[in-house]
């Protein structure tokens, strides 16, 4: 491709709208343009990268025997009622009413559609196992689209679905996809970490997220630099402290007036203590029955853990009315002392606490020196909170680190969650009917591009990994008026084409400085620099974008040398 003929508008300035470095560079290098909030057009250079990523995904999926399909974006809303996800996804779903007054959903994902398809076409164990996948546009009405293509309302997902007769089969399919994902992300040049993850709205038992460490990541992962343990923030286990013996010298419980002092910060200030000496008491509704949940003042409740402990996915925080009914006091002054007719569940971290401050269950009052066992009874101790960077690795007990990351892939063992809803069953060799076991596997295709840029850039621009670079080589004849430079450039360009090496020829009539700056900005791995002087000595220069290494070679040998380098980079 010749740059003068390519629709490749680069920008010197940092665009106003962009926050993340990947977002800034995707706009500056002419990969994408924003149409409206969370909605982007891919320009030719960006689409080339996107298609390279898609092809890598396709190759690795096919290699594992997954079969490509294309499922519709438009889906009848009834399917989502059937799976129960109309509620769980809520406002995130794009819905529209058609001219026949029917409500349709624009698929944010395709478990419902693919399960229905397989239910209709698969009836025997002989048709299993089966893995279907697609690379397709998805829609999600994000409340706050941001970071360019990282969190957008229209995006491309590779979603795969496995169908198996047995749980061994599901495990095998899951492992196949897991391995394919590692292969895909490696080929895309990403440094990634697979972590155990929460199953969230997808459902199922087991899941892993594939995370790319990146400053602008909206997700968090927990890693132990000692033993390599890695887990999603939501799933990270907080270890139970040893021992639970209260010493004999506990201080005396007493009430203190605390007018209008309700937040953790305000209470800590008032008593001149650290937040970790407080106990937060929250009233939840679980299966329509209330429950009191205690965590340390400096900790956050992890509702996903709480739901699992209580085996109740519909659990939710109680409202003011419920709090007043249960505690007899107003919101902001709840505490465990004197609560009756309600189960109390407390986080492990409170086990070794003593002489804490708690709400007094009456307006404008707290209790000091509250102690579990003596002043209130805990019915169940459990891991109920989010991990913090002051916590320790559950595997090797070293201090863990919490790091921002971008989720680029997620795999789930769904089991029968959807096949039960849609009654998708198979007959085994003996003619017995069982539900099909499912797995689902997603990759955020656009996110791979952004994640790659987050990991591979410098102050001058993008540094593309080899396999997803839009071109292999950029040829820069510096002086547009110097015929010999131009001729040499075109000759190299044509010879590389014959060898199936994709080159971009910067034949624009602009200053050398602009060419150099744009070259670094768009980040093609190898730059061939053809200057008038050097060419006079029969030489051209090669610059490797990633290392800034420059080498002079004889013009006559350039094509062989470039071919060699393209293989190496």
* Interface residue list for a copy of itself (CB under 8 A): 5-7, 9, 33, 35-37, 39-44, 46-47, 50, 65, 67-76, 91, 94-96, 98-100, 104, 106, 113, 116-117, 120-121, 130, 132, 137, 139, 141, 143, 153-154
CB of 300 to a copy of itself, least distance (A): 26
Nearer Cβ to a copy of itself (445/453): 445
CB of 49 to a copy of itself, least distance (A): 11
CB of 470 to a copy of itself, least distance (A): 12
CB of 90 to a copy of itself, least distance (A): 10
CA–CA gap between residue 4 and residue 10 (Å, rounded): 13
Nearer Cβ to a copy of itself (41/548): 41
CB 443 within 8 A of CB 412: no
CB of 321 to a copy of itself, least distance (A): 28
Nearer Cβ to a copy of itself (90/373): 90
CB of 16 to a copy of itself, least distance (A): 14
CA–CA gap between residue 481 and residue 58 (Å, rounded): 44
CB 290 within 8 A of CB 298: no
CB of 232 to a copy of itself, least distance (A): 26
CA–CA gap between residue 137 and residue 445 (Å, rounded): 10
Q: Which helix (H) or strand (E) holds 410?
A: strand 401-415
Residue 288 dihedral angles phi and psi, to the nearest 5°:
70, 0
Nearer Cβ to a copy of itself (100/272): 100
Q: Which of 49, 403, 398, 479 is nearest to 219 (CA)?
A: 403
SS3 1: coil
CA dihedral of residues 149, 152, 153, 155 (deg, nearest 10):
40
Write down the residue that tokens 């990268």 correspond to: 49
CA–CA gap between residue 140 and residue 108 (Å, rounded): 6
Give the C-alpha distances (Å, rounded to integers) separating 183 from 134, 179, 187, 408: 18, 6, 6, 13
Nearer Cβ to a copy of itself (470/525): 470
Nearer Cβ to a copy of itself (38/204): 38
CB of 294 to a copy of itself, least distance (A): 35
**Cα–Cα–Cα angle for 21, 549, 185, nearest 5°?**
45
CB of 452 to a copy of itself, least distance (A): 18
Nearer Cβ to a copy of itself (195/522): 522
Nearer Cβ to a copy of itself (98/249): 98
Q: Which helix (H) or strand (E) holds 210?
A: strand 206-213
User: Which sign does the torsion angle of CA 342, 347, 352, 355 carry?
Assistant: negative
Nearer Cβ to a copy of itself (132/474): 132
Nearer Cβ to a copy of itself (24/61): 61
Residue 61 has which token pair?
């999926």
CB of 142 to a copy of itself, least distance (A): 8
CA–CA gap between residue 286 and residue 283 (Å, rounded): 10
CB 285 within 8 A of CB 316: yes
Q: Which of 406, 387, 323 is nearest to 349 (CA)?
A: 387
Nearer Cβ to a copy of itself (73/323): 73
CB 279 within 8 A of CB 350: yes
CB of 530 to a copy of itself, least distance (A): 22
Question: What are 366's strand-pairing partners?
Answer: 256, 359
Q: Which of 449, 445, 452, 442 is nearest to 209 (CA)?
A: 442
């Amino acid at each position: 491709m010749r740059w003068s003929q390519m629709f490749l508008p680069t920008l010197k300035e940092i665009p106003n709208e962009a926050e993340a470095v990947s977002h800034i560079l995707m706009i500056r290098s002419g990969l994408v343009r924003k149409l409206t909030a969370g909605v982007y057009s891919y320009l030719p250079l960006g689409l080339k990268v996107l298609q390279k990523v898609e092809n890598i995904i396709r190759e690795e999926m096919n290699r594992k025997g997954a079969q490509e399909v294309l499922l519709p974006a438009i889906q009848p809303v009834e399917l989502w009622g059937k799976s129960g996800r109309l509620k769980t996804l809520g406002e995130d779903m794009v819905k529209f009413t058609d001219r026949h007054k029917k409500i349709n959903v624009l698929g944010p994902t395709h478990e419902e559609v693919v399960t229905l398809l397989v239910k209709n076409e698969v009836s025997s164990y002989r048709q299993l196992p089966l893995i279907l996948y697609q690379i397709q546009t998805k829609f999600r009405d994000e409340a706050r689209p941001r970071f360019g293509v990282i969190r957008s309302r229209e995006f491309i997902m590779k979603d795969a679905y496995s169908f198996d007769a047995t749980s061994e089969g599901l495990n095998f399919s899951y492992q196949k996809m897991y391995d394919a994902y590692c292969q895909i992300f490696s080929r895309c040049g990403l440094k990634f970490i697979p972590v155990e993850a929460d199953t969230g709205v997808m459902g199922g038992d087991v899941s892993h997220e594939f995370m790319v460490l990146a400053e602008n990541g909206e997700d968090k992962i927990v890693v132990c630099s000692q033993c390599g343990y890695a887990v999603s923030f939501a799933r990270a286990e907080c270890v139970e402290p040893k021992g639970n013996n209260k010493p004999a010298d506990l201080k005396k419980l007493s009430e203190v007036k605390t007018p209008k002092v309700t937040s953790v910060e305000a209470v800590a200030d008032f008593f001149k203590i650290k937040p970790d000496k407080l106990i937060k008491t929250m009233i939840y509704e679980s299966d329509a029955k209330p429950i009191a949940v205690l965590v340390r003042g400096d900790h956050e409740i992890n509702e996903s853990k709480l739901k699992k402990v209580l085996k109740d996915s519909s659990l939710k925080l109680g409202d003011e009315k419920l709090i007043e009914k249960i505690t007899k006091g107003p919101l902001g002054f709840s505490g465990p002392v004197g609560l009756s007719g309600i189960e109390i569940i407390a986080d492990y971290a409170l086990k070794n606490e003593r002489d804490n401050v708690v709400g007094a269950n009456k307006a404008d009052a707290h209790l000091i020196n509250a102690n579990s066992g003596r002043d209130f009874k805990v019915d169940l101790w459990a891991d109920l909170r989010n991990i913090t960077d002051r916590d320790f690795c559950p595997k090797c007990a070293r201090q863990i680190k919490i790091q921002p990351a971008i989720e680029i892939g997620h795999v789930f063992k769904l089991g029968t969650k959807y096949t039960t809803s849609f009654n998708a069953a198979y007959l085994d060799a003996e003619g017995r009917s069982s539900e099909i076991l499912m797995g689902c596997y997603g990759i955020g295709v656009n996110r791979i591009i952004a994640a790659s840029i987050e990991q591979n850039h410098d102050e001058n621009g993008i540094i593309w990994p080899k396999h997803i670079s839009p071109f292999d080589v950029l040829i820069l004849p510096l002086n547009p008026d110097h015929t010999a430079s131009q001729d040499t450039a075109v000759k190299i360009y044509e010879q590389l084409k014959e060898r199936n090496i994709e080159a971009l020829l910067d034949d624009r009539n602009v200053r050398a400085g602009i060419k150099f700056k744009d070259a670094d900005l768009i980040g093609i791995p190898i730059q061939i620099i053809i200057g008038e002087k050097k060419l006079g000595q029969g030489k051209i220069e090669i610059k490797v974008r990633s290392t800034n290494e420059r080498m002079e070679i004889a013009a006559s040998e350039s094509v062989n040398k470039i071919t060699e380098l393209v293989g190496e980079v």
